[in-house]
């Protein structure tokens, strides 16, 4: 049931991504090829799925927000393309394929990332179409801009780079994980709910839940970097240790990090059951807790 639900969600998102991405035969062809290569290379599609489920939980029809949800996947993919650049993590493998700068060159990778970020916000500002969604679209753009800007993901990326090689610091780690990963995931869930006209109380509840889910997601990511293999992850394993990144295992060790992940997902399962009696949010929590890639 869990696998079927997530597979079906992914299928719908992939289909919509295919439709919203600029076609390769249109000028500028090389840029569009790079954008499509990055986005259609695969990935879990967790952020658009959270967006759709935030909408469903607040009483909306998720099919109405799929194009908007594609916006967050484009924004996410821009961050991966830029993160892999030589000036940042300098990685050659992502989603099981050579990274964008390896295939298209560094300049085009920078520009493809820029275009994906811009196009992502264009989708959020455009969909769903129609006057009755206008206020919701504006609010969604605002809250996502906050989550991925200097006080969110980009700030987290700066902290990530600056914390390399420094002493383990639990407070800094928490701030880094919240900013780099959790705020964006939480904002995706809330954005869907905002488009369904959810009251502030519901949005706040989903935001708190999304932040915890984001922390669990990032702890799992830190653990997978140590325990996963490159083939399964689709990206180079063991890089955090090589680059001496500030991670959960670095601060707490492996056993305590596993325990923290179990504790967090245990609490999230209970909350997810309360927020969503259909069990689909619980399916997402379970996926985050036991993912292998
Ligand atoms: C370059 C502005 C800028 C930000 C980069 C997202 C990010 C910040 C860096 C990527 C590296 C990383 C470990 C980030 C933490 C968030 C995270 C685990 C991203 C990977 O997301 P997944 O696992 O990727 O959802 P897929 O490929 O499944 O979509």
| From 153-157, 201-205, 233-237, the region with the lowest mean pLDDT | 233-237
Measured by CA distance, the residue closest to atom 16 of ligand 1 is 181
Nearest Cα to Cα of residue 95 among 218, 223, 228, 235: 235
Q: Which of 120-134, 144-158, 186-200, 227-241 has the lowest mean pLDDT?
A: 227-241
What are 170-228's pLDDT values in tens digits?
999 999 999 999 999 999 999 999 999 999 999 999 999 999 999 999 999 999 999 99
Those residues whose C-beta lies under 8 Å from the C-beta of residue 153, and which sit 6 or more positions away, are 79, 147, 179, 180, 181, 183, 184
216 falls within a domain: yes
Give the whole-angstrom CA distance, residue 93 versus residue 235: 5
Q: How high is the mean pLDDT of the chain?
A: 96
Pocket of ligand 1 (CB under 6 A): 43-44, 46, 76, 79-80, 82-83, 95, 153-154, 157, 180-181, 221
* Closest by CA position to 34, among listed 25, 24, 45, 20: 24
- Domain residues for the domain of 157 are 2-288
In a domain, 238, yes or no: yes
- Measure Cα distances from 199 to 51, 141, 193 in Å: 16, 18, 9
**How many domains would you assign to the chain?**
1
Gap from CA of 48 to ligand 1 centroid (Å): 14
- pLDDT classification of 293: cutoffs 50, 70, 90: confident
Question: pLDDT value at position 50?
Answer: 98
- pTM value is 0.97
Residue 261 domain flag: yes
Query: Is-contact 2 287, C-beta < 8 A?
Result: yes
Averaged pLDDT for residues 14-22: 98
For residue 77, the CA-to-ligand 1 centroid distance in Å is 8
Do the domain assignments include residue 230? Answer: yes
Q: What is the mean pLDDT of residues 6-11?
A: 95
3-state helix, strand, coil in the chain (%, to 5): 75, 0, 25
Mean pLDDT of 32-61: 97
Between the CA of 218 and the centroid of ligand 1 the distance, in Å, is 9
Say how many Å lie between the CA of residue 216 and the centre of ligand 1.
14
Is the residue at 234 inside a domain? yes
C-alpha angle 159-144-193 in degrees, rounded to nearest 5: 130
Average the pLDDT over 243-257 and give the result: 97
Is residue 14 in some structural domain?
Answer: yes
pLDDT at 292: 81
Q: How far is CA 150 from CA 89, 101, 112, 180, 214, in A?
A: 19, 24, 20, 10, 18
Please check whether residue 265 lies inside any domain of the structure: yes
CATH number at residue 65: 1.10.600.10
| pLDDT tier at 291, thresholds 50, 70, 90 | confident
293 within a domain of the structure (yes/no): no
Backbone CA torsion sign across 149, 151, 153, 155: positive
Nearest to 71 by CA among 6, 119, 34, 129: 119
Residue 100 has pLDDT above 90, yes or no: yes
């Amino acid at each position: 049931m869990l696998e079927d639900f997530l597979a079906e969600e992914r299928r719908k998102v992939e289909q919509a991504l295919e439709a919203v991405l600029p076609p390769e035969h249109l000028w500028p062809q090389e840029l569009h090829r790079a954008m499509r290569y990055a986005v259609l290379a695969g990935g879990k599609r967790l952020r658009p799925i959270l967006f759709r489920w935030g909408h469903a939980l607040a009483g909306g029809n998720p099919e109405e927000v799929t194009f908007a949800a594609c916006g967050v996947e484009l924004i996410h993919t821009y961050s991966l393309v830029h993160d892999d650049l030589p000036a940042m993590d300098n990685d050659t493998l992502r989603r099981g394929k050579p990274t964008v700068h390896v295939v298209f060159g560094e300049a085009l990778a920078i520009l493809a990332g820029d275009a994906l970020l811009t196009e992502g916000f264009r989708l959020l500002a455009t969909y769903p179409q129609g006057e009755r969604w206008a206020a919701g679209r504006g609010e969604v753009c605002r809250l996502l801009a906050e989550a991925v800007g200097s006080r969110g993901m980009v700030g987290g990326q700066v902290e990530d780079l600056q914390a390399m090689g420094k002493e383990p610091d639990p407070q800094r780690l928490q701030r880094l994980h919240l900013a780099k990963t959790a705020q964006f995931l939480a904002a995706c869930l809330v954005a869907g709910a905002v488009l369904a006209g959810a009251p502030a109380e519901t949005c706040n509840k989903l935001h708190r839940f999304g932040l915890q889910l984001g922390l669990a997601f990032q702890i799992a990511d830190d653990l997978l970097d140590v325990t996963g293999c490159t083939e399964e992850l689709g990206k180079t394993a063991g890089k955090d240790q090589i680059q001496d990144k500030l991670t959960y295992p670095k601060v707490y060790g492996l056993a305590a990090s596993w325990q923290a992940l179990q504790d967090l997902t245990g609490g999230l399962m209970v909350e997810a059951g309360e927020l969503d009696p259909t069990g689909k949010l619980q399916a997402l929590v379970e996926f985050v807790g036991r993912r292998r890639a």
